[in-house]
Structure 1
């Protein structure tokens, strides 16, 4: 085994973000942080039917998400969003962390395991937080931008959710000589990712259960 193969041999833990490492959704709080409270609630009234259709399972996750993102973020420059995302990750995310999820993350880091963040949430705020928490990589949803760097609210490729999470985790593992692999999630949308590893854990009520 080459030195490069050996470096790929350590255990890897994949973590969902919203609801697993945090106590709830972070996208809407981020949008509120970007546009401010008055604008947030004014736009929320416009997108409420979309959110209601999504929660009623009448609208696909990716479609609902892009409608919401276009309403809130269209016209922003990507650099501006990354700057606001950094501040959001420093000021807001620490107040939303789930102690049990962070305990699992810290345990894996103490064991010397590689940790990868896998989320449907946005890179504009996840990248900074993940770097500070010692993740080796972030697999998530990213915004499309035009030649001048402005966003429309559309996302690049597929939303990193459900089967897409599974596909990206399998792709990430491809060609690596991995021993033990772990994954943590909290919803049915994470189950496909949990089946892509040797040890998958789903958060239910007050603890992580092996699936």
Structure 2
């Protein structure tokens, strides 16, 4: 039965998460992890490091979301895989679900009623996005993955880094594999960095967009929707 459904041409709804479904971001999630390190010295060291490099992160994000991701996730270097996974659901509930827009939940529920395959496409980590998707009843997750060696994070992401144009690439690959008709599909994003993702579907929607995305959306006649 599952194979038959996969062979049918279906439509999907693709969601960015930070700023789109939730009023939160990867920095807040990292701080949640860092503040719960078992040793006080580890907590302090990680917080000071993040604060020291914050100007560099700001510059990197303006230049390239991919560069920002590569730089920022280096903060996870040395963290234990087991602990990160064990805390994944807690982080999803406490750092994301508590910041979920009510309108976002309604949108997800409506997409389910429409029979859409629902997919998170996020620069956040898979170990957090998977329990978050499960809680919301979202079907699939395409998210960043940390590299681990000897049970500890190296601080590097496993390619491709989920950001900007790479979001479009992974969506198109997913659509081919799962027999998804992108011309009948929806995408929701809040940032100019989500533009490639929005452009690859038939029904893009700008949610709480930044100025650049809002201007582009209005020029192209895309819906501009405030989630609260």
Interval containing the TM-score (normalised by the shorter chain)? 0.7 to 0.9
- In the alignment, which residue of structure 1 is the partner of 2:97? 94
Write the distance in 1 (CA, Å) between the matches of 2:6 and 2:35: 48
What is the deviation of 1:205? 5.7
Deviations 1:125-177 (A, max 9, x none): 1111112212221011110111x221111000021111100011111111515
User: Equivalent residue of 1:92, what SS?
Assistant: helix
Deviations 1:18-71 (A, max 9, x none): 11101232x1111111111863542232212312322443xx33333333222x
Matched, 1:133 2:132: no
What is the deviation of 1:101? 2.1
Contact 2:34 2:47 in 1 (8 A): no
- In the alignment, which residue of structure 1 is the partner of 2:65? 61
User: Equivalent residue of 1:184, what SS?
Assistant: strand
User: Equivalent residue of 1:23, what SS?
Assistant: coil
- In the alignment, which residue of structure 1 is the partner of 2:148? 145
Q: State the TM-score, normalized to the length of structure 1.
A: 0.85
Write the distance in 2 (CA, Å) between the matches of 1:139 and 1:14: 10
Write the distance in 1 (CA, Å) between the matches of 2:71 and 2:61: 14
Write the distance in 1 (CA, Å) between the matches of 2:78 and 2:106: 39
Q: CA RMSD in A?
A: 2.5
- In the alignment, which residue of structure 2 is the partner of 1:32? 31
What is the deviation of 1:7? 5.5
- In the alignment, which residue of structure 2 is the partner of 1:188? 192
Structure 1 residues not aligned, in runs of 5+: none
Contact 1:5 1:177 in 2 (8 A): no
Q: State the TM-score, normalized to the length of structure 2.
A: 0.79
Write the distance in 1 (CA, Å) between the matches of 2:124 and 2:162: 8
Structure 2 residues not aligned, in runs of 5+: 37-42
State how many pairs are aligned: 204
Task: Name whichever structure is richer in helix by fraction.
Answer: 2
Write the distance in 1 (CA, Å) between the matches of 2:27 and 2:6: 41
